[in-house]
């Protein structure tokens, strides 16, 4: 039998035995890690351009406050991207927070553009607002990718930082379902051929 201490992944011992673990996690984790930082930095550049053109439409005080807040937010985003690229401890949470910051800035600009488009009847500005909101949506999608249990498992193995939140009891080891890659806490000696994954309902032993 396996314990009910569930989160999400696949029997590490089994994958280590046939050499598939490093190849599997390289495909799931390393590729996503390599692609995330360029996306964060690209969003930061786009927002820097958008903010530079938007803060000037307000009065001096609001423009100054907006400039300071926007610059501080983008500096945090760039720092988070650098830390994430270097795989520093805690940088996964920073990168996820950075996507929230980017999302918030995109939404704020999108709303301003929508209001302005409605007031002056500018069709092109309306299209720009729609595209900006699509960029905001993409930030949430990339953040969800980082929150995927498969990526979190790769991060834990690669950095040694526990981002899975699984507390193991005596005799338990982390294991991943060979069918759905959901991470589980199992006791190998008590794992029977008939045991099923609580996530996908398929065999945990691959039979």
Would you list the DSSP string of 107-155?
Answer: HHHHHHHHHHHHHHT-HHHHHHHHHHHHHHHHHHHHHHHHT-HHHHHHH
| 64: containing domain | 24-159
pLDDT tens digit string along 156-187?
A: 878 878 787 766 666 667 776 776 666 677 77
More confident residue, 149 or 9: 149
Average pLDDT, the chain: 80
Is 95 within a domain?
yes
Is 15 within a domain?
no
- Which are the contacts of 90, defined by CB distance < 8 A and separation ≥ 6? 83, 161
pLDDT at 150 over 80: no
d(CA 54, CA 84): 29
Is 164 within a domain?
no
Task: Give this prediction's pTM.
Answer: 0.74
Give SS3 for 183.
strand
Is 48 within a domain?
yes
pLDDT tens digit string along 56-82?
A: 777 778 888 889 999 999 999 999 999
Is 3 within a domain?
no
Is 79 within a domain?
yes
Is 40 within a domain?
yes
- Please, which pLDDT band fits residue 6 given cuts at 50, 70 and 90? very low
Q: What's the number of domains the chain is made of?
A: 1
- Please, which pLDDT band fits residue 155 given cuts at 50, 70 and 90? confident
pLDDT at 2 over 90: no
Is 44 within a domain?
yes
pLDDT at 139 over 80: yes
pLDDT tens digit string along 75-117?
A: 999 999 999 999 999 999 999 999 999 999 999 999 999 998 8
């Amino acid at each position: 039998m396996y314990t009910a201490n569930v989160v999400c992944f696949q029997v590490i011992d089994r994958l280590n035995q046939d050499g598939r673990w490093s190849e599997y996690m390289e495909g799931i984790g390393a590729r996503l890690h390599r692609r995330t930082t360029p996306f964060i930095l690209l969003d930061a550049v786009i927002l820097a351009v958008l903010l530079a053109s938007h803060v000037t439409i307000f009065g001096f005080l609001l423009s100054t406050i907006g400039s300071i807040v926007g610059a501080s937010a983008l500096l945090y985003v760039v720092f988070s991207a650098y830390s994430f690229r270097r795989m520093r401890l805690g940088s996964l949470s920073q990168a996820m927070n950075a996507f929230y910051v980017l999302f918030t800035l995109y939404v704020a600009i999108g709303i301003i553009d929508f209001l302005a488009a409605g007031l002056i009847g500018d069709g092109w500005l309306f299209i720009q607002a729609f595209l900006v909101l699509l960029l905001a949506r993409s930030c949430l999608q990339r953040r969800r990718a980082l929150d995927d249990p498969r990526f979190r498992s790769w991060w834990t193995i690669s950095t040694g930082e526990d981002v899975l939140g699984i507390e193991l009891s005596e005799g338990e080891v982390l294991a991943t379902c060979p069918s759905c890659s959901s991470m589980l806490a199992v006791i190998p000696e008590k794992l029977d051929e008939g045991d099923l994954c609580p996530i996908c309902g398929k065999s945990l032993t691959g039979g």
